[in-house]
Amino acid sequence: MKLTLGFSPCPNDTFIFDALIHHKIDTEGLEFEVFYDDVETLNQKAFRGELDITKLSYHAFAYVAGKYVLLDAGSALGFGVGPMLISKSEFSISDLNNSKLKIGIPGKYTTANFLLGLAFPEATNKQEIVFSGIEDALLDEQIDIGLIIHENRFTYQDRGLKKIIDLGDYWEKLTGCAIPLGGIVANRSLPLDVQHKINRVLKKSVEFAFANPKSGLEFIRSHAQEMSEEVMYKHIGLYVNKYSLDLGEEGRKAINLLFDTAREKNIIPEIKEDIFLSPPAKGEE
């Protein structure tokens, strides 16, 4: 059975999926046609229901829960991993509700933008930019403030840019929970046994990556542009953790809290479906 699969070229995703797409584990008869896209492009593909399996932002998932179900494996949640607001010039936190300041965001439906709206609701002058171009846009003074994600956490200071606030810290202090950033979802049109099979092989892929962290080095590097190996593995260390193996009770609580908070603020629509993959039938574990 061949399935379409979308994930980002970022080190955390290539680390997670390396064993699965290169058959370093038993994929139980599944084959994959892979699409590599930035997270907002993946979000848009999910809105159109284009892929069988995809990475997407938790913010975007709220809009497609009727089409996709969240897998237990593959998610990016954690502490100290949130998006950050940075600038070239000096700005204070109190400046962030100034609607005249232009903020570059990595996509309307990213979890990063959700957190920005939650923390600074008056910061509405936004420009969507591919996440990897936000630092350049700041340096070229096309924007005043940048909302950065992924490996830019490790590179912005090297380019003379300054942190204003870490929105992950904001969330953690507000809730005491890990911040849910992105998850892996499967199309609800797939049979339930196939959804569980995908979840099983994905978990095996993460387990293999943890046990053999350098196995996918060349694959990870081939998609990581000019990132150093040190930065690649710092990135992986931040975003791939116990929640990537299995959301567990803690992970599910954090996701439910994110969605409940967003609903209270009218940031997302009401979700009528059960967002989590149902338990496997007896004998399928």
Q: Which residues are catalytic?
A: 150
- Torsional class of 141: left (φ above 0), alpha (ψ -120 to 50), beta (otherwise): left
Give the integer Cα–Cα distance in Å for 74 and 5.
13
> Do residues 144 and 87 lie in contact, with contact meaning Cβ atoms separated by under 8 Å?
yes
Contact (Cβ atoms closer than 8 angstroms) between residue 49 and residue 256: no
Residues 6+ positions from 68 with CB-CB distance below 8 Å: 46, 54, 56, 61, 185, 186, 187, 188
Structure tokens at 105: 């965001």
DSSP sequence for 95-133: GGG-TTS-EEES-TTSHHHHHHHHH-TT---EEE--GGG
Q: How far is 92 from 137, CA to CA, in rounded Å? A: 20
* Cα 103 from Cα 99, distance rounded (Å): 9
CA 16/CA 281 separation, integer angstroms: 26
Pull the structure tokens for residue 82: 């949130």
